[in-house]
Amino acid sequence: MVPEEASNALEDEVVTLIAEANQLAGRIHPIMRDSIGDLVRSMNCYYSNLIEGHDTHPRDIDRALANDFSTEPKRRELQQEAVAHIHVQRLIDSGRDPDVWPASAAYAAWLHEEFCSHLPPEMLWVIQPGTGEKLPVIPGEWRTHDVEVGRHLPPEHDDLPRFMARFDRAYDAPPLNIFRQIQTVGAVHHRFLWIHPFLDGNGRVARLMAHALFKRLGIGTSLWSVARGLAREEELYKKLLSQADGPREGDRDGRGNLTQRGLIAFCKFFLDRSIDQIRFMSGLLEPATLLTRIEIHIEEEIRFKRLQRGSFPVLREAVLAGEVERAKIPMLTNYEERGARNVTAALVERGMLTASSHRAPLRLAFPADVAERWFPNLYPANAGTRS
């Protein structure tokens, strides 16, 4: 259930992950980090949905967050699913999740209940393959039926309390030092999916659990998410996930009946994808290149008369200082007060700036059409075209 302590196979990945996560966290102004967090939560939701075979267009996610839902039933369901996911991740990112260890049965039950309780009742059903029986998904409760997941047969439902108790003992925080806990995040993810304790929603819970676990270990922040890395290599992700519980391959492959080599390979993949996503976000958030992309985009908007001159200096201030005091906007734009208000109003209307009140400082916001320009490759080119 955990990589063998004697194995040094994951040490380099852990050291690199800690260093690069700290570097990314220290690069961004704390207020700007909150703005980026909104964007990353939408991105994480999109890729988590994609792994489940649900391709939600990023603009549909934006509309759902603004309480603008489609009248088309399937599209509306995807939007509702997205809003529920983002709600749960926001609780994690803001520290409003339960004060229990994320790699635990209690935390898993909270994740599942919090997510499912924000879905409409018509989405809380599954159809049993073969029999066609319609079964209710009870938020936060272990399944009461046996299931098949592809070729995998998870434990029988009667055995779930015993398996989840073993899960708690294996991954409880105190027995493992932080270095070992980081090594084990992939193993937690694998074992939870292997147990498959809920009738539906296990993949989403497992990814949110990993996000919460990284955050609790001081590595994860709202600036990055492993979900994008897993989705971009979905075939390899699922292949290694399956192989991690294969039979032992000879005397040098661990001490038990199962392959230690396969488990380590999956844990290494999980850490490598995490490092890859930290590096990806570090590149996107490098201030000089980010400001260049913003400036090019704003110049285009000004030429098409969708924004006014003086817009870029306001956005630049938001990037560098985290927020923009309204009293500074006339100086930044070289306009009198009325002209400065017009610049601000246009940026707010386009969704590029937001504030908690009419008097509060302004901070950056990233609606989907803006994110596509300021953060290239955040989403695949064909986002929202698969169903």
Q: Binding site for ATP: which residues? A: 149-152, 200-207
**Does 196 qualify as catalytic in the annotation?**
yes
Phi, psi values for residue 126, rounded to 5° = -130, 155
Q: How far apart are CA 116 and CA 124, in angstroms?
A: 7
3-state secondary structure of 185: helix
b/e 356-373 (16+ beta carbons within 10 angstroms → b):
eeeeebbbbbbbbebbbe
Question: CA 165 from chain center: how many Å?
Answer: 27
Start-end of H helices in 52-146:
58-65, 73-93, 105-116
Q: Which of 85, 112, 196, 297 is catalytic?
A: 196
Annotated binding-site positions: 149-152, 200-207
Which tokens in the block code for residue 342?
């017009």
Q: How far apart are CA 288 and CA 280, in angstroms?
A: 15
Which candidate, 36, 65, 26, 35, places its Cα nearest to that of 361? 35
| Residue 44 Cα distances to 49, 122, 230, angstroms | 8, 24, 11
Contact assessment for residue 198 and residue 112, using Cβ atoms and an 8 Å cutoff: yes
Contact assessment for residue 300 and residue 332, using Cβ atoms and an 8 Å cutoff: no
Just list the catalytic residues. 196
